[in-house]
């Protein structure tokens, strides 16, 4: 019998005959078994006491008198470090580790190697299991696996003797605000739901591995059917829109499936079952490993894929236990979670939540994309909120400003209730503007276009009355699918876009991958500054086959209709020329040729500003990407929260740049527009219109508010004001306040 199976069989015996009154005796027996099986001199169990102290509760090999006396704070010493980081420590030379804290009473100075595994249950820390040996050595993968599995069993023993965490006292009653990032706009007020952070298997060990393998297989099939059902029930019902929804479901489902298929985690579940675990325990074990891997991954896209997997593991556990217990959800409730997969969000949406805070959510994640499509207010990276919230607490999510309030003061809550009422009144007013062209109060026509990237968003053309699609981010569909698909499949996506857009113009941007937009499986770049690294068009020009495949797909999809293609991250006219050359070469081979072929560039790297005379001779249009332009102009990473509002688009430097660009492009007869997020903000839009921009592209949620705001704006009055403000405000970091004051004075509702 292999070590893990024999050890697990002995532990099963121990647990079956344990004496509920003598917890300490069980722990000692467990420590002895582990030490004997692993041929280790020491095995110790440290138990969390009072929330932050780890007490030596049982040991085989350290001095018995230190039991109950030796204590380390979480974060102190190697045991504390394993507890604080939540990660297994495997050290051949523990005493020379900088975190080593010597406790003379234990006599542990004679042991060189150490393996410390945090003991957790349902995401909660309960203690640390430690193995030590005299000889310096690194424990091998099988030993680590065994100790981690024992830690899972130990968690059951400890949980039986410890009360559940429940914040009490003053901290649980105080009102608190947490800053967050916005994932999907909106405001939601309601009671907090804190779903249990992990389903805890009831039965950990099993005698009959074949039976368990069969159970997992069955549950897996049921889960697949359940996901299909969920997506087909939920998306169309919530959006009420035909083909685009079916396409969206496919995109999300494909990506979700792809993750399950390629990670090979079912194989690992099967291996864990063969070592003696029950199906439930094996799935939990593999999900736990995933959670640990997730902690180490910084790439936001990969983290999202792992969140998908965690979602699946949870679902699988539900099927194994014969269905998830369904708590009753008050409509409009606010869900607080650490991570959330897309299928889970659909589940919660069906149950009526109004908002969600995803502690580790990113704007490019599936859950965020779906939340936007479903109209659920969503925020991400609200650090600490999970620790301070109790189920049923009242909360306000303000996803527009990126914040959440727990147990809000009455006045604050009233303020938000009025804001919601005012918003719905405003929305009713905005709806009446949908079919009217966007015009300033004094009659200048402004084109308001959509920024989208998924077929599911195409319906927004009709719901917002936008003039067209100013930015179709082609990489988003690829990110949702998890791979760059081949020409026919790409072409099918673009054909849907053309078909749904009908007469309205669409500008397709070629793949803008790299930086923070990485495909799963693509090697993590070893660049110090990936945003300024080998990304986007740079990859396209160095790997022309990839770019040509995409250009060909676009030309095929156009099928004789007008086609506008735009290149991202262009730094030199030579790059633009090379990319355009590839497009024209493909265009010469595709029939029918587009009735009109327009080739443009994004302006997001400042260097282009000093090449305008030649660029304007070669580009048919320019679209300013303020997101990247701001990051490169001010050397301020767009993903660093501390820099989020440090530099203002409405500042003399940026307005001068945009003013000069507009002037020169207009003189050359080249169309110029703005498609970065700044165009979606009312005050910025006022400033851009004041500079002469008549085409702005933005997310769907901003089209009607910006249209309404523009209808209040008298440009003939605002232009001279803006000019004089720019002349007299050299040296200011921002012109936001004076422009806001002007807007208020002149009745512009922004
Ligand atoms: C931009 O940089 O402003 C832009 C529109 O592109 P993305 O946000 O996709 O980089
Ligand atoms: Mg960009």
Enumerate residues 6+ apart whose C-beta is below 8 A from 494: 474, 508, 553, 554, 557, 558
CA–CA dist 404, 115 (Å, integer): 40
Q: Which residue, judged by its Cα, is nearest atom 4 of ligand 1? A: 625
- Pairing type for strands 71-73 and 53-60 reads antiparallel
Please name which of 385, 149, 83, 366 lies closest in space to residue 252, comparing C-alpha atoms: 366
Ligand 1 near 241 CB (within 6 A): no
Chain centroid, CA 100 distance in Å: 36
Provide the residue ranges of all domains of the chain, joining segments of one domain with +: 3-159, 176-427, 440-520+527-745
Quote the pLDDT of residue 239.
Answer: 45
Residue 623 near residue 470, CB atoms below 8 Å = yes
Q: Which of 319, 366, 662, 695 is catalytic?
A: 366
Ligand 1 near 676 CB (within 6 A): yes
Percent of the chain clearing pLDDT 90 (strictly above)? 46
- Considering all CA atoms of the chain, what is the largest pairwise distance in Å, rounded to the nearest integer? 88
Residue 400 near residue 182, CB atoms below 8 Å = yes
Q: Which of 319, 662, 675, 695 is catalytic?
A: 675
3-state secondary structure of 60: strand
Quote the pLDDT of residue 577.
Answer: 98
Closest ligand relative to 570 C-alpha: 2
Banded model confidence at residue 237, pLDDT cuts 50, 70, 90: very low
More confident residue, 413 or 520: 413
Percent of the chain clearing pLDDT 70 (strictly above)? 85
Q: Is 662 designated active site? A: no
* Cα 509 to averaged position of ligand 1 atoms, centre (Å): 10
Ligand 1 near 212 CB (within 6 A): no
- The number of CA neighbours under 13 Å toward the Cβ of 503 is 2
Ligand 1 near 626 CB (within 6 A): yes
* Cα 637 to averaged position of ligand 1 atoms, centre (Å): 13
* CATH number for region 176-427: 3.50.30.10
- As beta bridge partners, residue 125 has 120
Banded model confidence at residue 262, pLDDT cuts 50, 70, 90: very low
Residue 510 near residue 576, CB atoms below 8 Å = no
Q: Which residue, judged by its Cα, is nearest atom 6 of ligand 1? A: 625
CA–CA dist 490, 485 (Å, integer): 6
Cβ burial 498-527 (10 Å sphere, 16+ → b, else e): bebbeeebbbbbbbbbbbbbbbbeeeeeee
* Cα 636 to averaged position of ligand 1 atoms, centre (Å): 15
- As beta bridge partners, residue 621 has 600, 671
- The number of CA neighbours under 13 Å toward the Cβ of 307 is 27
Quote the pLDDT of residue 450.
Answer: 95
* Cα 627 to averaged position of ligand 2 atoms, centre (Å): 6
* Highest mean pLDDT pick, 299-303, 412-416, 627-631, 686-690: 686-690
Ligand 1 near 675 CB (within 6 A): yes
Quote the pLDDT of residue 459.
Answer: 85
Closest approach atom of ligand 1 to CA 451:
5
More confident residue, 386 or 333: 333
Whether the pLDDT of residue 174 is over 90: the answer is: no
Closest approach atom of ligand 1 to CA 626:
3
Look at 209-223, 325-339, 460-474, 701-715 and tell me which has the smallest mean pLDDT: 325-339
Quote the pLDDT of residue 269.
Answer: 86
More confident residue, 455 or 575: 575
DSSP string computed for 172-185: GTS-EEEE-EEEE-
Q: Which of 301, 606, 623, 627 for mutating ligand 1's site (highest number of atoms within 8 Å of CB)? A: 627
Whether the pLDDT of residue 259 is over 50: the answer is: yes
Look at 144-148, 227-231, 457-461, 566-570 and tell me which has the smallest mean pLDDT: 227-231
Mean pLDDT over all residues of the chain?
85
* Cα 31 to averaged position of ligand 1 atoms, centre (Å): 56
* Cα 638 to averaged position of ligand 2 atoms, centre (Å): 10
The tokens describing 215, both together, are 């159970």
Helices and strands of the chain, counted as H and E runs: 26, 22
The tokens describing 345, both together, are 């969000």
Ligand 1 near 604 CB (within 6 A): yes
DSSP 641: G
Enumerate residues 6+ apart whose C-beta is below 8 A from 345: 356, 367, 370, 371, 374, 376
Instruction: Report phi then psi at 435, rounded to 5.
Output: -95, 5
Quote the pLDDT of residue 3.
Answer: 64
Place of tokens 């994309």: 369
Residue 334 near residue 366, CB atoms below 8 Å = no
DSSP 520: T
3-state secondary structure of 746: coil
- As beta bridge partners, residue 199 has none
Strand segments, DSSP code E, in 124-221 are 124-133, 176-179, 181-184, 187-193
CA–CA dist 604, 568 (Å, integer): 8
Same fold, 3-159 and 176-427: no
CA–CA dist 282, 273 (Å, integer): 6
Whether the pLDDT of residue 550 is over 80: the answer is: yes
Cβ burial 677-703 (10 Å sphere, 16+ → b, else e): bbbbbbbbbbbbbbbbbbbbbbbbbbb
* Cα 625 to averaged position of ligand 1 atoms, centre (Å): 5
Superfamily for domain range 3-159: GAF domain (3.30.450.40)
Quote the pLDDT of residue 598.
Answer: 98
DSSP 311: H
Superfamily for domain range 440-520+527-745: Phosphoenolpyruvate-binding domains (3.20.20.60)
> Taking the chain, what is the end-to-end CA distance rounded to the nearest angstrom?
73
Q: Which residue, judged by its Cα, is nearest atom 1 of ligand 1? A: 625
Helix residue spans in 669-714 (DSSP H) = 682-691, 700-712
* Cα 93 to averaged position of ligand 1 atoms, centre (Å): 48
Quote the pLDDT of residue 164.
Answer: 47
**Is residue 127 classed exposed, middle or buried when 0-12, 13-18 and 19+ CB atoms within 10 A define those classes?**
buried
Look at 165-179, 186-200, 370-384, 488-502 and tell me which has the smallest mean pLDDT: 165-179
* Highest mean pLDDT pick, 29-43, 146-160, 381-395: 29-43
- As beta bridge partners, residue 506 has 469
CA–CA dist 102, 370 (Å, integer): 51
pLDDT digits (tens, 9 = 90+) for 131-162: 999 999 999 988 888 898 889 888 878 877 66
CA–CA dist 107, 94 (Å, integer): 14
Banded model confidence at residue 703, pLDDT cuts 50, 70, 90: very high
CA–CA dist 223, 104 (Å, integer): 53
More confident residue, 124 or 45: 45
CA–CA dist 721, 715 (Å, integer): 10
DSSP 116: E
Enumerate residues 6+ apart whose C-beta is below 8 A from 463: 434, 700
Instruction: Report phi then psi at 479, rounded to 5.
Output: -65, -40
Q: Is 43 designated active site? A: no
Banded model confidence at residue 631, pLDDT cuts 50, 70, 90: very high
Ligand 2 (single-atom ion) residues, CB below 5 Å: 604, 625, 628
pLDDT digits (tens, 9 = 90+) for 602-629: 999 999 999 999 999 999 999 999 999 9
Banded model confidence at residue 299, pLDDT cuts 50, 70, 90: low
CA–CA dist 448, 429 (Å, integer): 18
Whether the pLDDT of residue 241 is over 50: the answer is: no
Whether the pLDDT of residue 253 is over 50: the answer is: yes
Please name which of 578, 574, 593, 515 lies closest in space to residue 548, comparing C-alpha atoms: 578
Closest approach atom of ligand 1 to CA 678:
3
DSSP 691: H
**Is residue 19 classed exposed, middle or buried when 0-12, 13-18 and 19+ CB atoms within 10 A define those classes?**
exposed
CA–CA dist 397, 403 (Å, integer): 6
Ligand 1 near 517 CB (within 6 A): no
Quote the pLDDT of residue 240.
Answer: 42
Closest approach atom of ligand 1 to CA 675:
5
Quote the pLDDT of residue 608.
Answer: 98
Place of tokens 């969503």: 378
Look at 242-246, 317-321, 484-488 and tell me which has the smallest mean pLDDT: 242-246
The tokens describing 32, both together, are 């002895």
Residue 682 near residue 705, CB atoms below 8 Å = yes
Closest approach atom of ligand 1 to CA 627:
3
In total, the chain counts a number of residues equal to 750
Whether the pLDDT of residue 307 is over 80: the answer is: no
Question: Long-range contacts made by residues 297-300, C-beta under 8 angstroms, separation at least 24?
Answer: 299/516, 299/518, 299/524, 300/362, 300/364, 300/365, 300/516
**Helix 342-350 vs helix 209-239: crossing angle, to nearest 10:** 60
Prior bond of 592 cis (ω within 30°):
yes
């Amino acid at each position: 019998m292999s070590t893990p199976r024999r050890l697990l069989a002995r532990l099963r015996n121990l647990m079956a005959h344990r004496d509920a009154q003598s917890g300490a005796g069980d722990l000692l027996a467990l420590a002895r078994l582990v030490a004997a099986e692993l041929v280790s001199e020491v095995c110790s169990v440290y138990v969390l006491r009072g929330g932050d102290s780890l007490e030596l509760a049982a040991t085989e090999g350290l001095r018995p008198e230190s039991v109950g006396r030796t204590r380390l704070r979480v974060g102190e010493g190697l045991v504390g470090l394993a507890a604080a980081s939540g990660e297994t420590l495997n050290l051949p030379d523990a005493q020379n580790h900088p975190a080593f804290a010597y406790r003379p009473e234990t006599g542990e100075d004679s042991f060189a190697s150490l393996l410390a595994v945090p003991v957790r249950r349902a995401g909660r820390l309960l203690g640390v299991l430690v193995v030590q040996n005299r000889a310096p050595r690194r424990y091998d993968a099988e030993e680590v696996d065994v100790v981690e599995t024992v830690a899972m069993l130990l968690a059951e023993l400890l949980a039986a003797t410890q009360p559940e965490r429940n914040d009490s006292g003053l901290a649980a009653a105080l009102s608190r605000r947490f800053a967050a990032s916005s994932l999907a706009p909106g405001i939601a007020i309601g009671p907090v739901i804190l779903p249990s952070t992990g389903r805890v298997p009831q039965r950990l060990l099993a005698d009959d591995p074949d039976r368990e393998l069969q159970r997992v297989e069955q549950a897996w099939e049921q889960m697949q059917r359940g996901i299909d059902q969920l997506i087909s029930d939920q998306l169309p019902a919530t959006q009420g829109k035909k083909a685009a929804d079916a396409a969206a479901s496919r995109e999300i489902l494909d990506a979700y499936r792809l993750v399950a298929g390629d990670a090979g985690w079912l194989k690992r579940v099967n291996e864990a079952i063969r070592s003696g675990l029950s199906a439930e325990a094996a799935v939990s074990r593999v999900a736990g490993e995933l959670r640990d891997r997730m902690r180490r991954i910084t790439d936001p896209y990969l983290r999202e894929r792992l969140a998908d997997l965690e979602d699946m593991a949870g679902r699988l556990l539900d099927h194994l236990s014969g269905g998830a217990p369904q708590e009753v959800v008050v409509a409009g409730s606010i869900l607080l979670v650490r991570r959330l997969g897309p299928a889970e969000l659909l589940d919660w949406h069906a149950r009526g939540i109004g908002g969600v805070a995803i502690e580790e959510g990113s704007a490019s994640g599936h859950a965020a994309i779906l939340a936007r499509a479903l109209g659920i207010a969503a925020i991400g990276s609200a650090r600490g909120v999970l620790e301070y919230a109790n189920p049923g607490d009242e909360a306000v999510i303000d996803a527009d400003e990126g914040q959440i309030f727990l147990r809000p003061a009455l006045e604050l809550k009233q303020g938000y209730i009025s804001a919601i009422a005012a918003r719905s009144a405003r929305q009713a007013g905005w709806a009446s503007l949908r079919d009217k062209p966007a015009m300033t109060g004094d009659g200048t026509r402004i084109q308001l276009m959509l920024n989208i990237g998924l077929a599911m968003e195409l319906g927004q053309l009709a719901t917002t009355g936008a003039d067209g699609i100013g930015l179709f981010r082609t990489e988003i569909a690829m990110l949702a699918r998890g791979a760059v698909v081949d020409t026919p499949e790409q072409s099918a996506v673009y054909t849907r876009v053309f078909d749904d857009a009908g007469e309205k113009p669409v500008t397709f941007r070629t793949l803008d991958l790299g930086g923070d937009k990485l495909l799963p499986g693509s090697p993590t770049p070893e660049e110090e500054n990936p945003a300024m690294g080998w990304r986007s068009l740079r990859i396209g020009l160095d790997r022309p086959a990839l770019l040509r495949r995409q250009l060909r797909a676009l030309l095929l999809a156009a099928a004789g209709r007008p086609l506008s293609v735009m290149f991202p991250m262009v730094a030199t006219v030579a790059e633009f020329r090379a990319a355009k050359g590839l497009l024209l070469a493909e265009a010469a081979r595709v029939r029918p040729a587009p009735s009109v072929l327009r080739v443009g560039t994004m302006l997001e790297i400042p260097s282009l500003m000093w090449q305008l005379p030649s660029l304007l001779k070669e580009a048919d249009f320019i679209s300013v990407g303020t997101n990247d332009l701001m990051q490169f102009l001010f050397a301020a990473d767009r993903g660093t929260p501390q820099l989020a509002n440090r530099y203002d688009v409405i500042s003399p430097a940026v307005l001068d740049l945009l003013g000069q660009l507009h002037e020169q492009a207009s003189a050359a007869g080249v169309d110029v527009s703005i498609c970065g997020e700044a165009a979606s903000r009312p005050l910025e839009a006022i400033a851009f219109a004041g500079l002469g921009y008549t085409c702005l592209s933005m997310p769907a949620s901003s089209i009607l508010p910006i249209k309404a705001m523009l209808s209040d704006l008298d440009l003939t009055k605002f232009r001279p004001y803006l000019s004089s403000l720019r002349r007299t405000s050299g040296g200011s970091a921002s012109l936001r306040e004076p422009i806001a004051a002007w807007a208020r004075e002149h009745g512009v509702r922004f």
